[in-house]
Structure formats: C-alpha cells, structure tokens
Chains A and B, each alone.
Chain A
Amino acid sequence: MNTAYNFAFFDEGSKREIRRATLKAIAIPGYQVPFASREMPIGRGWGTGGLQLTLSLIGKNDVLKVIDQGSDESVNAVNIKKLVSDTTGVATTDHTAEASLIQSRHRIPEVPLKKDQILILQVPLPEPLRYYEPSENETKKLHGEKEYSGAWLMLFEQIMKYGSMTTGADHPVMVHDRYVMAPSPIPRFDNPKMNESEALILLGAGREKKVYAVPPYTKVVSLDFEDYPFEPESFEDKHCRLCGSTGVFLDELVDEATDETFYQCNDTSYCIETLNEVEPFGVK
C-alpha cells in the first residue's frame, strides 16, 4: 500500500463532499445531484465519476470488484483496481458474490446482487433529455416540472425511422414514478435488474459532475409505448459456447477464418464460475 497518499487517494474533505452529494442522491431517487468532480490521475470520461464514488465510500473491510463491459481483466478495470488497492490496501475479487463494492462500466453482473452490496456505475452522459434539449438550464426546468415528453419523443422518432425502439444501451427509465433517468449505457437487457434491486445502485458522471442513485427496492420502469412495449435483447435458442449458459447477456463473435458465428457470456467472471461448478461433476 502506497502511504504517500491519504487513504483512498482523496483528502477527507473531498470524500465527505462526495458522500454528502451521494446521500442527497439516495434521498431523491433518479435526481442528478451536482458535485465538485475532482481531478484524478486518469482522464475525465474514463470512469472518474464511478471512481470518485468508489474512493469516497471504500473502507478497510471492503472487497472491491471492477468490471469493464462485463470483463474483470480489461485494461481500464485492471488499472482502476490497481489504483484503489494501491491507495487503500483493500482486497479485490472477481467473484460478484464476494464483493461489497462493485464498480462497473456498462454492465450489471449476471449474479443477482444482495442487499449488503453497492453497485457503482460509470456514466458518460447523465442527462436523458440532452439530445432533445441542449441547454442544462432548460432540462433542469423540464425535470422540475416532470415534463418528459422529450424522452418519449426520442423513442417515437426511432420507431418512425426504424420501426422499433433502437436504443442499444442507455434506454431511459422512470425512477420511483418521478424522475426520468439515464441508466448509463447498460444494455436494455440489464434495465429490469434495476427494478426493486436489493443492492444500492449509485451512478457517477465525473466529466459532467453529477451523481445520482437508485436506492434499494425502488421502482424502475423502462419507458415505452402502449403498442410498442419495452423489450430487452433476446438470446432465445442461443447459449454460451464455453459454459453453456442460457438467459444471460451474450456477445456475438465471428470467427473470421471459418465465418462461423458463436456466442459467449459477456460477464466473464460468471462464465468462469459456471465452468468451475460444472466440471467437478463431469458433465462436460
């Protein structure tokens, strides 16, 4: 552990300021709380929002897991883990069930989260109405007056153009029947996991200087229309070629040599855990 820095990199005052914003965010589900985003040793827009939340919350007994698009071992995830463990000395893990803090870029893990866990999502664009209304001043008013026709209008436009809602990720959700929220670019597949989640979900946008939250057991509904209901990505009839799992989020991969298309778990730690469970029984 590097003792040149204060515990968890930040000074105590900074951590307290971020935690205060976080408390307000939890008190008003889905509302974007501004906070003084700190300078970080990584560039803004590379997960600094999530990282600041992690650093402000982490304690000596926490166990940290960091994932990047479902992978524990990508460069971004590894570097964030290194920074946190170097300045705090806390243990890191790949196993979702063992972690108390999970920082994630654009996925919610396949293993259901428990009530003593906190999920921290990195957010590039926290404002769900930004494309509809460029002015922050105006979007604040729209949120204040619960005027969300713009959010539905963007979905309507997609239906007009492409015949269906085409949000690949970041499909807007209504939180606690009050605020429309950008769930960060998680696939539609993960949206339903936010609804009545046992774990606390925090979302941090470092570049845009906003923190927001979905407290445990909060109603989260994906926006849709009466005749165009919300549908998560479907992987019917498909399974992971490594562990054989079905009903999980799969990556589509193409073997360029043989032109063969195959599917594989996006959540790598889930895939390995499933493989380790299966093999001792000699099924494979």
Chain B
Amino acid sequence: MAEFEVPVLSIKNLNKQFGKGCPYCQDEESLVKNYCPVCGTVYACRDVSFDVFPGEVLGIVGESGSGKSTLMQCLYFDQEVTNGEAYLADYHNGEKNLFQESSQQQRYIRNNIMGKVYQNPLLGLKMNFSSIGNIAEKLIAAGNQHVGMMENRGTELLNKVNIPVHRRKEAPKNFSGGMQQRVQIAKALSNRPPLLLLDEVTTGLDLSVQASVLDLIKSLQRELNISIVLVSHDLGVIRMLADRTLVMLEGRVIEQGLTDQILEDPQHRYTQQLVHSLL
C-alpha cells in the first residue's frame, strides 16, 4: 500500500501574485477579494497545496477569476510562480523543486513528463503545421529523430482520438473546434506522460462534441492509467471525470474532498451556492 500512496505530483504552498505588493496589502484583511486597492496587486493563487496520486483525476472548480487557470499555467511553467514548491515523482524521484529548475530543465519536464490541453487550441497547436506535425513537435522535442516512428505514433494517436487518417496531414486551422481539441489531446499524450493537465477542455464546444471529448478523456485515462489535473467551471464535467475535487475562490482552496462528497454535502458557503446553482 505504501507504494500506492506516493503522489505523482505534489504542490506545496504555491503563491502567484501579479504586482509587487505593498505594506497595505501585507494584511490580507485589507484586500478587496484578492485585489489590493492601493497598489493594484492581484493575488491570483494563495497558498495552494495539493497532491495528485497515480491514476487519479483531480478536479479543480471555481468561478472565473478564482485562479484556476493561473494555477495550471504555473504548473506547466507558462507563468513563473511567486513562490512555492512542486515535486514530480518521475523527475529526480520527486526530490527536486520544479519551480527552481532552469528554464531548460523546465522545458525538458514539459516535453517529457507532462502534457497539457489548453482551453484555446491556438495556444496548444501550431495552426499552420499539419496535425501529425503538431504531434511530431512534441516527439522531436523529447529527442526523437526517426520520421517513420513519429509518423506511426502520430497516426496511432490520431486514430485513437477519432481523427480520420486521411486528414492527418491537414492543418488544424481547417478543423472544427472539437477536432482541434482532440488533436491537442493526441499531442499531449504523444510521449505517454504520467501527468496530463486539462484546462477547460470542453468549454465552448457544443454538447454532443463535449460528450465525445469527455468520453475520450475518460477512456484514455482508464486505458493508460495516467493522472489528470482537470480544471473546469462546469460541475457536470467534474462529476463525470473527477475522483477528487478542489474548490477555489479568490485564489484560495476553500474546500476539498471526494467529488461526491463535495457535490452532495458542500460545507463552504460558496460551494453550497455553486452546487445549488447547478441546473
């Protein structure tokens, strides 16, 4: 059992602020939500800590502006954290703080140990390169030098996400939003990463496409036994996918627990409001 309990990803006291801060906002009571009216500093993530275990899907919910996406950007090194620690079991046995590594090492981690699917496919894909090229980009970045092998792996992945084989050399800009999202998933999975970050993957897709993308994520997760951190403001998505859920508000984690528990018996006032506003 001990082995099972080693977290894949462990985040400790992550803070991210935009702005320098001032003596006035040292006292957190004086903030308006998470904003300092004197110096204009925004405290996007405040003292966020959590663990993700192997094969687990961790959901993060919260209203817009609660710091969910900033947290995800910090985890994928798209943003620099103000302070905090992150440890990956697959990187130096989880003994090195990822946020202190050089940008070259962080790139290595992104390319080899993590995959991310952005809400906006423009951020995750090169729209003018072919779909298979987009997948190859991640494979090349991880040191692959064999065209035949990359083509096979890319085709296999595109098959898995239901992109017709004859369209694999087409650029994602020609694809519909749902297809672009599926290409992003294929790209994120190309190096068999132990950890996948999903940032509002189904927001903006129509319902039937949403369902098929969620189905896909669920089945891939079961098949490959990867851990997922999933951000969404859609409780339906969280209910369907997440084993455990964090609720964020104004940059803080205000409640966490099993998804069923959170949804059936919310403790915090905001969570109660959130659950009750579910149609």
Binding site for B on A (CB under 8 A): 132, 141, 145-147, 149-150, 152-153, 156-157, 159-161, 225-228
B269 at the interface (CB under 8 A from A): no
On whether the beta carbons of A153 and B145 are closer than 8 Å, the reply is no
Closest to B148 in A: A227
On whether the beta carbons of B103 and A145 are closer than 8 Å, the reply is yes
CA distance A227 to B130 in the complex (A): 20
CA distance A225 to B140 in the complex (A): 10
Q: Contacts A145-B103, A146-B104, A147-B107 given: A156-B140 contact, CB under 8 Å?
A: yes
CA distance A226 to B146 in the complex (A): 5
State how many angstroms separate the Cβ of A156 from the closest Cβ of chain B: 5
CA distance A160 to B130 in the complex (A): 8
CA distance A160 to B133 in the complex (A): 8
B151 at the interface (CB under 8 A from A): yes
Q: Which residues of B contact A161 (CB under 8 A)?
A: 130, 169
Interface string of B119-136 (1 = CB under 8 A from A): 000000010011011001
CA distance A66 to B125 in the complex (A): 44
Closest to A132 in B: B126
Q: Which residues of A contact B104 (CB under 8 A)?
A: 145-147
Q: Which residues of B contact A225 (CB under 8 A)?
A: 145-147
| The residue from A141, A145, A149, A227 contacting B147, defined by CB atoms under 8 A apart | A227
B137 at the interface (CB under 8 A from A): yes
| The residue from A149, A159, A226 contacting B137, defined by CB atoms under 8 A apart | A149
State how many angstroms separate the Cβ of A181 from the closest Cβ of chain B: 18
Q: Which residues of A contact B39 (CB under 8 A)?
A: none
For the complex with contacts A156-B133, A157-B133, 18 further pairs of A-B residues with Cβ separation under 8 Å are A132-B126, A141-B103, A145-B104, A146-B104, A149-B111, A149-B140, A153-B129, A153-B133, A153-B137, A153-B140, A156-B136, A156-B147, A157-B129, A159-B147, A160-B133, A226-B146, A226-B147, A227-B147
On whether the beta carbons of A226 and B133 are closer than 8 Å, the reply is no
30 residue pairs A–B, Cβ–Cβ below 8 Å: A132-B126, A145-B104, A145-B107, A147-B104, A147-B107, A149-B137, A149-B140, A149-B141, A153-B126, A153-B136, A153-B137, A153-B140, A156-B133, A156-B150, A157-B130, A157-B133, A159-B147, A160-B130, A160-B132, A160-B133, A161-B130, A161-B169, A225-B145, A225-B146, A225-B147, A226-B145, A226-B147, A227-B146, A227-B147, A228-B147
Q: Which residues of A contact B151 (CB under 8 A)?
A: 160
Q: Which residues of A contact B130 (CB under 8 A)?
A: 157, 160-161
CA distance A155 to B150 in the complex (A): 13
Find the residue from A160, A161, A227, A228 having the highest chain B CB count within 10 A. A160
Q: Which residues of B contact A150 (CB under 8 A)?
A: 137
Q: Which residues of B contact A226 (CB under 8 A)?
A: 145-147
State how many angstroms separate the Cβ of A207 from the closest Cβ of chain B: 24
CA distance A141 to B107 in the complex (A): 11
CA distance A156 to B153 in the complex (A): 14
CA distance A161 to B145 in the complex (A): 18
State how many angstroms separate the Cβ of A222 from the closest Cβ of chain B: 14
Q: Which residues of B contact A145 (CB under 8 A)?
A: 103-104, 107
State how many angstroms separate the Cβ of B166 from the closest Cβ of chain A: 13
Interface string of B56-77 (1 = CB under 8 A from A): 0000000000000000000000
Interface string of B160-201 (1 = CB under 8 A from A): 000000000100000000000000000000000000000000
On whether the beta carbons of A160 and B169 are closer than 8 Å, the reply is yes
CA distance A156 to B104 in the complex (A): 23
Find the residue from A147, A152, A159 having the highest chain B CB count within 10 A. A152
State how many angstroms separate the Cβ of B8 from the closest Cβ of chain A: 25
Q: Which residues of B contact A149 (CB under 8 A)?
A: 111, 137, 140-141
Closest to A225 in B: B147
Interface string of B227-259 (1 = CB under 8 A from A): 000000000000000000000000000000000
